[in-house]
Copies of this chain bind each other. A is one copy, B any other.
């Protein structure tokens, strides 16, 4: 059992109403790896880094069972850099700087060693890159999940439509689901998206939780009401990491188990927002994760007798 996770590794500069970090490790693959490594080992990373990526970060992830065999290291360029500022409500942010750097040349190669992985998480990348990864897999993974963003919906819709026919799970936020379909109702949007390919659709609504659609079924996982959302950066990727980590650990890709995986993802995301970047994820232990999942059970658990 193992999980391939393809995505960016980056340095971020983040400004929230609570403070500022000029340089902190980030990128979708980093968050997915931190979250998933609580549940499955190895996490097979496929990414690209520059000469500024610190060894201590690599060591910290390797110590958690993350394999760097699929991470290309470019000697004469810098890592992907992103800088953003959050508004007071934490639901919206302005991107201040996007320096693609090494990411501009990212042409992922799946190591032979990773070919037996049963689970594949495609982070937010150009859909053509996502297609290239899927095509490199000699045996189709049991479950392929992908993220995307509004930028690809407007700039690479044909490639995006193609990759959608090749995956099992799409994860998008509510705005992206609406943009992809032109439907305001998320229920209608979900139906259209599932007709595009994915059997399962996860619509992330940030502090308002996440919806899982499958056929005519729908499941809802709330976000944990928190005293303070300190920094939302990476919460979506952490959600994906918890989700895929749970599936990889249990090897059960039934709708019933995907529901559970969404709760695990939501629990992991609720940790992520408590500190800057992946800081909170670094220090997490299993007891804390179990306690948090229990909080989710309490949050939605009720007894009822019908009328």
Contacts and interface: CB of A to CB of B under 8 A. Distances in A.
Contacts of A302: 219, 221, 256, 259-260, 262-263
Given A222-B222, A226-B187, A303 B260 contact: yes
A220 B300 contact: yes
Interface stretch (A101-109, A231-239, A291-299): A291-299
Nearest to A208: B208
Contacts of A39: 307
A263 B304 contact: yes
Interface in A184-242: 184-188, 205, 208-209, 211, 217-222, 225-229
A302 B186 CA distance: 22
Contact of A219 (B228, B293, B299): B299
Main secondary structure, interface of A, reads mixed
Q: Which residue, A39, A185, A290, has most C-beta atoms of chain B within 10 A?
A: A185
Contacts of A262: 302
Nearest to A287: B307
Contacts of A211: 225
Nearest to A205: B208
Given A205-B208, A226-B185, A227-B187, A260 B304 contact: yes
A143 to B, nearest CB: 18
Contacts of A218: 225, 298-299
B260 A88 contact: no
Contacts of A228: 185, 188
Contacts of A187: 225-227
A134 to B, nearest CB: 29
Given A208-B205, A260-B302, A227 B290 contact: no
Interface in A258-307: 259-260, 262-264, 286, 289-290, 293-294, 297-304, 306-307
A184 B221 CA distance: 22
Interface of A: 38-39, 88-89, 184-188, 205, 208-209, 211, 217-222, 225-229, 256, 259-260, 262-264, 286, 289-290, 293-294, 297-304, 306-307
Given A185-B227, A220-B299, A290-B307, 11 more contacts: A38-B307, A185-B226, A185-B229, A187-B225, A208-B208, A219-B299, A220-B225, A256-B302, A256-B303, A262-B302, A263-B302
Q: Ordered nearest first, which 6 A-B pairs have the shortest CB separation?
A: A208-B208, A259-B302, A290-B306, A220-B222, A300-B300, A187-B227
